[in-house]
Structure 1
């Protein structure tokens, strides 16, 4: 069995041009980008993409505030929350004394401490503590887990792949046996490239799509950072084509439909991948790729990715030379470079060879050749789409959205299945948005722990409803199936005074539709509970909720409402029994 978690991101210091990873970058290192600098807090800053990243994170915060009906971004005054014991702290925020774990790292489960206080106490600050406190778009909470990874996962001894700075192994969630890919990164080797690593993580935290590898959790100990991600056990697309030969038009259309949906979603979220290629398209399982949907692809490896802003150009020559668009080589490009790479992938899977030799000189380097006998039997529509994606004119190049509506995709690609919304599923969707943010996040955590077989029905239904292919279920799409009034009820989200409609993202949809009575077992709920119980004392206090290290900022009103909904015995804390009862309550 071949696994696709090769370690492209682990470049050795000093690699340049066509380095160990086979990718070109003007700055070596873990996904190092030419534009990236470091600000005063050690955070990555890109004169073009950095501003987009800042705006993207601001949008995330604004979205969280809209979820709870807030009109400002001021810090929560937890002294106004009824029943909260008054705990005083320094200027860095509410805090108790700083304590250390056995690795000598800050053990901070109650509240945050300012950097000066940590320095005074000679505490080694974790790398994850220097990351922005922005919740994962998929899980709706801060995914930095302060616990020990071996308490949550059974990690295999045999690695799937090795790199200069670490390894990738299989890990199984102890509560559900769901398989995950665990990327273990050696901090000592990454000392000069942590800014780029953190930038890549911030990008992955914003992504939630069925055809993009998902980042579930981040752990850290004295020597390593661990990224727990979706496992793709079928190898990568290049390995598949090299071993089985080029794909039929129907199977190629199924593959390209998935790739275009993923790229459409990335660009909608202001992310330019910049290294799309068959090696970074991973197969979920070892099953064949076909129009019947027995297997699916996932876009992976965001080490070269960047946030972008409309009408502003990027200039770093990064990526894989054989897939680079002409404008990337010319150092003046935008997100449309990804469409060129999609065209290279389409050409490759249909004939088994790549269209361009990066060692060739102009004008041959970007000249497409359809002289191979394979192309004789290929439809004119397929050739037209390849030519459109590989158009040298950026303005006239076919986009991912346009490709999804291209005649070849519509005629040869798989037809979306009929979306059958059972009454119980419809009821779950209607109720989910009325739940408080803590419960929605808790259900999302539980959904992330489930095995793919359990999630599959929700995934299939989501893809059937997402007719536009943008990775979201919109009001228009729900209205077409259920009518406007039902769609308004399902998508409504507000604070009782103002109601706003927000599209359903993928994991949120799974969290709303999985069978709670069957899936919310005691072991699963204990694992989910431990994610919120930061100090491990067996209860979740209002202070933990208000720290901002769990769900991001919460208003005093929302904190009170959350505690009132879950705290059944009135002790101002949420214990495990109360948590489990609330999760299984349908």
Structure 2
């Protein structure tokens, strides 16, 4: 996230007065986090490691000086607005937002594995099998981004981090400071004309000043080239000569490293580095490319049995029938898990996300159920997923309603007795009970959502509370009542029914 460095001059139409900013929690961040070592700094602020006071989990906390960035703060808002819309396993997440008299603070995922560029420099280039895993994750992330109507516009190895130092750690796309929405409120495509990005990864149409989201596919082609041989496809010492090469030269496969690269990989690079944007392969089509055929499943994906899939479907059902406050609390739990704790859950999500677009669709669930020999109509599954997403079942909109997002899917997987132990429930309870009163009020819930950058109306807050209250006079929730809420509609493997048909009849309700 590039909120510590200024890359653009502010438009006089885009400026926003600080007094108009309402989204940030005016709570003391040091009540929730301890600050550690500096990870980086810029002209507007710093990035430090932050440790949760509840469980010492590591985060990255970006701190921006309010008055140094007064004229460019609209860029921060634009980046935050984009990031808070996104929910993908390979895109960096912003968890919470704070402000005090002097600073804005943003609590984000901490990626300890370093930049992709560092790994390339260390090795010289990345082997084809490892590059394939990285590129599949990148295509998935950018395909998802484009489906949300957003172009990144600054894809490069420096803006790709590894979540941890583990050999098979997932990548995370960062720095959305130059990102822009390319669809308006009527879903019509909007052209872009700002000359942005990093020269050796910039698409030819950006140089011409008229482009759309396909500029990202070009950048991915450049990244793939760098991965496989250690060099960009177009190089020159002078910027004007580099631009000529980008516009007119063909991709260069003369590097020695390409002698060991498959023809399928070279074909995909060529398809990404097509000069005409409309003829360039999209991320969606790239994921179907021959290069990705016969990719090895992870050991965990290989171990998923029919019985496992049945349990997963039951977990989705129990989550769908849970209270709204419980669903939101489970999402908070997901944000509190470490990378190692979340890795197997992510593998399950990846198994279900057959088209690698970052969401689970009706069609993907129907295919899983068909493989199990269980048949339900699409309409029945639509109704269940609407409940899953807290959408009115009578709603006619079946676009967003029938997709299961990454965090929601993972939240459903942890809705089981074996995972929700007393220690985790206590940490969740204290997330709301930040004043250590040993009970939770509506105001505590409001402040918790405020820290996440979400402003809930009083009527919505009351609705969340009333759904779990035993009577209208009740104004607080103690730990015992909180545990009861979390244990309602809880999947318990010890009480499984033998008949899958009976167990999944709930999809009709």
Q: CA deviation at 1:176?
A: 2.8
Given candidates 257, 260, 267, the residue that maps to 1:374 is 257
Q: Output the CA distance in 2 between the equivalents of 1:547 and 1:380.
A: 52
* SS class of match (1:216): strand
Structure 2 partner of 1:529: 432
* SS class of match (1:159): strand
* 1:564 equivalenced with 2:466 (yes/no): yes
* SS class of match (1:228): strand
Given candidates 22, 33, 42, the residue that maps to 1:153 is 33
Q: CA deviation at 1:568?
A: 3.1
Q: Deviations over 1:9-48 (max 9, x none)?
A: 4335xxxxxxxxxxxx5x34xxx6x6x8327xx28xxxxx
* 1:446 equivalenced with 2:349 (yes/no): no
* SS class of match (1:387): helix
Structure 2 partner of 1:477: 364
Contact 1:430 1:489 in 2 (8 A): no
Structure 2 partner of 1:364: 245
Higher-RCO chain (CA-CA 8 Å, sequence separation at least 6): 1
Contact 2:203 2:246 in 1 (8 A): no
* SS class of match (2:342): helix
Q: CA deviation at 1:580?
A: 3.8
Structure 1 partner of 2:317: 430
Q: CA deviation at 1:365?
A: 3.8
Report the CA distance shift for 1:399/1:580 in structure 2 as closer, same or farther (over 3 A): same
Q: Deviations over 1:194-218 (max 9, x none)?
A: 1111111000100110000011001
Report the CA distance shift for 1:562/1:362 in structure 2 as closer, same or farther (over 3 A): closer
Contact 2:433 2:444 in 1 (8 A): no
Given candidates 385, 396, 400, the residue that maps to 1:491 is 385
**Alignment RMSD, CA only?**
3.0
* SS class of match (1:161): strand
* SS class of match (2:87): coil
Q: CA deviation at 1:537?
A: 10
Q: Quick check: which one's helix share is greater?
A: 2
Q: Output the CA distance in 2 between the equivalents of 1:160 and 1:128.
A: 27
Contact 1:271 1:307 in 2 (8 A): yes
Structure 2 partner of 1:38: 14
* 1:285 equivalenced with 2:164 (yes/no): yes
Q: How many residue pairs end up in the alignment?
A: 456
Q: Name whichever of 540-549 and 473-482 sits farther off.
A: 540-549
Given candidates 184, 191, 204, the residue that maps to 1:313 is 191
* 1:346 equivalenced with 2:235 (yes/no): no
Q: CA deviation at 1:371?
A: 1.2
Q: Output the CA distance in 2 between the equivalents of 1:545 and 1:184.
A: 23
* 1:399 equivalenced with 2:302 (yes/no): no
Q: CA deviation at 1:468?
A: 0.6
Q: Output the CA distance in 2 between the equivalents of 1:547 and 1:466.
A: 30
Q: CA deviation at 1:379?
A: 1.4
Q: Output the CA distance in 2 between the equivalents of 1:378 and 1:459.
A: 29
Contact 1:467 1:477 in 2 (8 A): yes
Contact 1:529 1:576 in 2 (8 A): no
Contact 1:218 1:225 in 2 (8 A): yes
Q: CA deviation at 1:479?
A: 1.0
Report the CA distance shift for 1:265/1:495 in structure 2 as closer, same or farther (over 3 A): closer
Equivalences for residues 242-257 of structure 1 within 5 A? 242-257=121-136
Q: CA deviation at 1:575?
A: 2.3
* 1:388 equivalenced with 2:364 (yes/no): no
Q: Output the CA distance in 1 between the equivalents of 2:169 and 2:175.
A: 20
Q: Output the CA distance in 1 between the equivalents of 2:465 and 2:66.
A: 39
Q: CA deviation at 1:287?
A: 2.4
Report the CA distance shift for 1:456/1:489 in structure 2 as closer, same or farther (over 3 A): farther
Q: Output the CA distance in 2 between the equivalents of 1:456 and 1:126.
A: 41
Q: Output the CA distance in 1 between the equivalents of 2:449 and 2:121.
A: 48
Report the CA distance shift for 1:521/1:8 in structure 2 as closer, same or farther (over 3 A): closer
* SS class of match (2:291): helix
Q: Output the CA distance in 1 between the equivalents of 2:381 and 2:254.
A: 51
Contact 1:128 1:220 in 2 (8 A): no
* 1:512 equivalenced with 2:415 (yes/no): no
Q: Name whichever of 337-346 and 361-370 sits farther off.
A: 361-370
Q: Output the CA distance in 2 between the equivalents of 1:160 and 1:547.
A: 27
Equivalences for residues 55-204 of structure 1 within 5 A? 128-129=21-22, 131=23, 144-156=24-36, 158-204=37-83
Structure 2 partner of 1:541: 442
Q: CA deviation at 1:495?
A: 4.1
Report the CA distance shift for 1:316/1:576 in structure 2 as closer, same or farther (over 3 A): farther
Q: Output the CA distance in 2 between the equivalents of 1:398 and 1:456.
A: 30
Q: Deviations over 1:262-321 (max 9, x none)?
A: 000000001100000000010111123xxxxx2111000000101112432100011111
Q: TM-score, normalised by structure 2?
A: 0.81
Structure 2 partner of 1:110: none
Structure 2 partner of 1:302: 176
Q: Name whichever of 238-247 and 331-340 sits farther off.
A: 238-247
* SS class of match (1:357): coil
Equivalences for residues 11-50 of structure 1 within 5 A? 11=5, 27-28=8-9, 37-38=13-14, 42=16
Q: Output the CA distance in 1 between the equivalents of 2:395 and 2:261.
A: 54
Contact 1:525 1:580 in 2 (8 A): no
Structure 2 partner of 1:460: 347
Given candidates 127, 132, 139, the residue that maps to 1:260 is 139
* 1:575 equivalenced with 2:477 (yes/no): yes
